Amino acid sequence: MVEGRYRELPSVDRLASELDAPHPLAVAAARAAIAARRRDLSDGREADGDLLAAAREQLERIRQPSLRPVINATGVIVHTNLGRAPLPAAARAAVTRIAEGYCGLELELDNGRRGSRHAHVAHALGELTGAGGGLAVNNGAGAVLLAVAALAGRGGTVVVSRGQLVEIGGGFRIPEVIEQAGARLVEVGTTNRTRIEDYERALARAGAGDRVVILRVHPSNFRTLGFVETPEIEPLTGLGVPVIDDLGSGALARELELLAEEPDVRRSLRAGAALVCFSGDKLLGGPQAGILVGEADAVRQAERHPLARALRIDKLSLAALEATLALYRDPASAAEEIPVLRMLAAGERELAARAEAIRAGIGARACVVPGVGRVGGGALPLAELHGPVVSVDPAPASAESLAARLRAGPVAVIGRISDDRLVLDPRTLTDVEAGQVGDLVAAALKLAAPAAT
């Protein structure tokens, strides 16, 4: 019987001819609709719906961009799956301005000579951190790879504490980074305790002509507690070899008490680190980028390395980064205008007002309760951001099905699930988004409700 139903299905070309769309799009939509119908028949599900209507739905789905904006109601500020840091208005305006036409990316406009794209952020990086030089690449992992390749390179030796041989992100492992740079890894200390004497012994074993570099790595989401010891940056830079300090998040806003535990870029540079690496997004609050600052000669070595071209930052990210760095010249403006910093510093009254706007939009199915948000992105993994959240009763649907409905809506809303309730955290919302979320959740709840008899 199933084979007979298969034969009743139209050909792809015939179904495509009934769609008002360019041929390649129509064929793709028809093929997807017929494939879905065949799966229904194979699984024994009823499949008597309008196939042309199904093809039109597939066509609309194909026409939609894959990368769409979402409203982040998870309470995770630097959410990797949702694009990490939202850009400040100045950075968004800079991207639009540069995207509209040509720009002087690698042209010195005052003399007409070829220039360096790194010059657009080098001055600001030096001004903000006190570094002798600075450059930006396409992401933080790339910054670490380039730093190791430039200062150690093929045949060089990189000394790392065993407690810092971490894996972050989607399989980014420090030992493999060193291997890809062509250098030899030398592990020192133990997982929980590494002392300055461990580094001294490793350096004593190095040959007279060996290129030896110390790499200090931010542990990201990994923490050891209890009997833990690791040298600070100052004794490491006193050992007489270049030190690369990977700080991860790049927290330049030292005025925020919450960021006091994050490593300080300026301190590492004052201590004499040859290169300091950190991210342009995460706690800096800008676009995806990897930043290297440090001694002028070390930065030049990195800039001239062949990998620098493979890892170079594009013009739009560079424009956003330059605009974000400019905000840090006025700490008060940075705290107000950079969304990540504003979310970190959000107070109880502000969050409570947003939570109430969400609850009012949803109605009796929602209530305001205490909750905990997170920084995210590998930064401050133990920090808990306490504040009010909105808890939604999804019945008769499940929380998972309500969350799926919200993801599929005209404006996708992403929350979190706890005890089979949908939780919406106002910390990662603007005032405007809070009003939207209440309306969108209310509409999704109505669609999930059983039809009246």
**pLDDT tens-place string over residues 374-431:** 998 878 888 899 999 999 999 988 999 999 999 988 899 999 999 999 999 999 999 9
* Domain range list for the chain: 2-63, 70-80+342-448, 89-333
- Are 157 and 184 spatial neighbours (Cβ–Cβ below 8 Å)? yes
3 state SS of 325:
helix
Which CATH code fits 70-80+342-448?
3.90.1150.180
- What is the DSSP track for 333-391? HHHHHSHHHHHHT--HHHHHHHHHHHHHHH-TTEEEEEEEEB-BTTBSTT--EEEEEEE
Q: Dihedral of the CA atoms 240, 246, 250, 253 (nearest 10)?
A: -40
Mean pLDDT of the residues in the chain: 92
- State the pTM of this model: 0.89
Q: Dihedral of the CA atoms 200, 202, 205, 207 (nearest 10)?
A: -100
Mean pLDDT of 218-229: 82
Q: What percentage of the chain carries pLDDT values higher than 70? A: 97
| pLDDT higher than threshold 50 for residue 101 | yes
Assigned fold of 89-333? Aspartate Aminotransferase; domain 2 (3.40.640)
- Are 121 and 134 spatial neighbours (Cβ–Cβ below 8 Å)? yes
Q: Closest Cα partner for 145 from 84, 75, 41, 217? A: 217
- Are 344 and 259 spatial neighbours (Cβ–Cβ below 8 Å)? yes
| pLDDT higher than threshold 80 for residue 171 | no
Mean pLDDT of 211-226: 86
Range in 164-168, 172-176, 236-240, 257-261 the model is least confident about: 257-261
pLDDT band at 41 (very low <50, low <70, confident <90, very high): confident
pLDDT band at 453 (very low <50, low <70, confident <90, very high): very low
Mean pLDDT of 129-136: 95
pLDDT at residue 211, as a whole number: 92
Cis peptide before 331 (omega within 30 of 0): no
Give me the helix-helix angle, 89-99 and 315-327, nearest 10°: 150
pLDDT at residue 170, as a whole number: 64
pLDDT at residue 451, as a whole number: 47
Tell me the CB-side half-sphere exposure of residue 442, using CA atoms within 13 A. 14
pLDDT band at 452 (very low <50, low <70, confident <90, very high): very low
- Are 216 and 243 spatial neighbours (Cβ–Cβ below 8 Å)? yes
